[in-house]
Structure 1
Amino acid sequence: MALFWRIFGLNAVVLGGATSLLLWAPVTVSAPVVLTEAIVLVGGLVVMLVANAVLLRVGLAPLERVTRRMATVDLLRPGQRVSVAGHGGVPDLVRAFNDMLGRLEHERATSSARALYAQESERRRIAQELHDEVGQSMTAVLLELKRAADHAHDPDLRTDLQHAQETTRASLDEVRRLARRLRPGVLEDLGLVSALTTLTTDLSTHTGLAVHRRFEADLPKLDQQTELVLYRVAQESLTNVARHADATEVGVHLYRDGDRIQLLICDDGRGFGLANEGAGLRGMRERALLIGAALELEAAPGGGVQVGLSVPLQGDGG
């Protein structure tokens, strides 16, 4: 029964009973009102108010749950729904709200997939241009500097040219490193473990962080999108550690746990982003949603932050 008809019916019963009592019962209202009459009238009013309050509390409770959920819902954490039972106006409204959340989650996942695909395409294009255009130009400059240094007769000029040569070589190495970060060719050529090994080696080389790797042997074969999500989550997590955590050590673990692949990245720093997630962390959640994975951030046992990505295996896990 709809909430309107329940409230109307209850009021009708109470008012009808009061009317019947006044019509057929030997009850009158004196002027002035005597004590017993006042007790009967006040008692009837209290019963009606209590009954209405109870019915409204029970009937409107789902709306309060919807209000609380609306204030806390996060489309990057799908599956948040309001429990509902029965039929009628309010339960149907709650079901409509749950259906709306489902549609929004689907639309968010679809739009995120398109945006991330475009992002990866643009990264691939920029990496290709860095490698083909900028890299080749800097290589040509490096050869010209070497040729000029070899033919220079002035020792001071030769020294300056050699310094410029070293600077150009270092810049060329940096361009190549940026190109690898934008487009992890080793991921496509040699697989996830080799790509993560290269990523952590570069991190240790450029930041001085002690990196502890533990990659389980004989991991099941994963599809290209899943490997890319795992790689990008590891990359973003390690970038956060290097920039914000003030850590000295970081551990990167990749292993199989039943029907899931687990990626754990744990540092000993001061933590980052646990209270207010930045764009990087929300980007990791969006990537995780693409493959139905769960991303969790929590305080690490020895301080710092632990980032965990749990990826379900498709079918028999390869």
Structure 2
Amino acid sequence: MPLYWRVCLINGLVFVVGTAALALAPVTVSATVLVSEAVVLVLGLIGIVVLNSILLRTSLAPLDRLIRLMATVDLQRPGRRLPESRNGAVEPLVRGFNAMLERLETERGRSNAKALAAQEAERHRIARELHDEIGQGLTAVLLGLKQLSSAVPEPVRNDLLEVQETARATLDEVRGVARRLRPGVLEDLGLQAALTALATEFSSHGMHVRRVTSPGLPELGAERELVVYRVAQEALTNAARHSQARSVCLALRRQGPEVILTVDDDGVGLRGAEEGTGIRGMRERSLLIGAELTVGPGDTGTSVRLAVPVEQR
């Protein structure tokens, strides 16, 4: 029954009950209302209002739950649904809302997968251009400067050597950017070697990264390993930029049917800050592979935990 007619029926039922009670009750109302008659009328009115409010509250309770869920729903934390039942005028609305959430989560997952795939392809393209074009160009500059250093006068040679060192440092930085954009070690040597290289890279920038890995880790597949690597990379980047951390523990372990990645730092923590684009990006990636990401306070700083289900063979 539509909600409009349900409300009309409830109010009509209450009025009928009130009218029948007044008609059958052995009471009368004088031309001048007496105190005892006024008490009966007030009590009857209160009873009608209370009965009407109880019936309406029972009928519209699912609508209140729907409003609360709509205010708190987050597509990055999927799976929340309203309980469905066969009673109530708003149950078709509840079922429709749950179906809408299902479609939104499915479409969001598909669009995120396409967007992240395009992002990785663009990362590979930029990394290849940095390595093949800019890297080779800087290498040619270094070779030319090396040849010139033996032919220029002594007063100019020191300046030339400084330019040569600047070009060499720029070349190293370009190669580092290319490695971060396209983790070739992940494709060539696997996830554990890539995490080791990642820990070494961040340790060389003043933050001590301790890596812990349990033996006998299963193969996760290229897509899942890439997500684990990107989450670890983003978590270490956040620890270095925002947490003011001096040491970080990067761990990869097997726990039942899941592989668990944890990144724990000793920084200042989240301090109630809202999630930025980095954490939201990690959540988007984890949803693509059915993993569960948890970001919150740790023992001393911030703790990032990614639970990746192992594919059953």
2:244 aligned partner: 246
Cα distance between partner residues in 2 of 1:24 and 1:145? 112
1:308 aligned partner: 305
- CA 1:82–1:25: 2 relative to 1, 3 Å: closer
Deviates more, 1:240-249 or 1:91-100: 91-100
Q: CA deviation at 1:169?
A: 1.1
- Residues 94-148 of structure 1: CA deviation (Å, up to 9, x unaligned): 1211111111111111111111111000000000000000000000000000001
Deviates more, 1:106-115 or 1:53-62: 53-62
2:232 to 219, 230, 234: 234
Q: CA deviation at 1:313?
A: 1.1
Deviates more, 1:272-281 or 1:262-271: 272-281
Q: CA deviation at 1:67?
A: 1.5
Q: CA deviation at 1:226?
A: 0.2
- CA 1:274–1:199: 2 relative to 1, 3 Å: farther
2:115 aligned partner: 115
- Residues 207-246 of structure 1: CA deviation (Å, up to 9, x unaligned): 2111110012221011111000000000111111111111
Does residue 210 of the first structure (1) align with residue 208 of the second (2)?
yes
TM-score (normalised: structure 2): 0.94
The sequence identity of aligned pairs, in percent, is 54
Cα distance between partner residues in 2 of 1:21 and 1:49? 14
Cα distance between partner residues in 1 of 2:274 and 2:307? 22
- Residues 257-309 of structure 1: CA deviation (Å, up to 9, x unaligned): 000010000000112475300111100100000001111011111x2100001
Instruction: Check the 8 A contact 1:7/1:52 in 2, yes or no.
Output: no
- CA 1:274–1:230: 2 relative to 1, 3 Å: farther
| Segments of 4+ moved more than 6 angstroms | none
Cα distance between partner residues in 2 of 1:298 and 1:106? 27
Q: CA deviation at 1:58?
A: 1.9
1:196 aligned partner: 195
Q: CA deviation at 1:188?
A: 0.4
* Unmatched 5+ stretches in structure 2: none
- CA 1:209–1:234: 2 relative to 1, 3 Å: same
- CA 1:72–1:25: 2 relative to 1, 3 Å: closer
- Measured on the aligned residues, the alpha-carbon RMSD in Å equals 1.8
Cα distance between partner residues in 2 of 1:278 and 1:123? 21
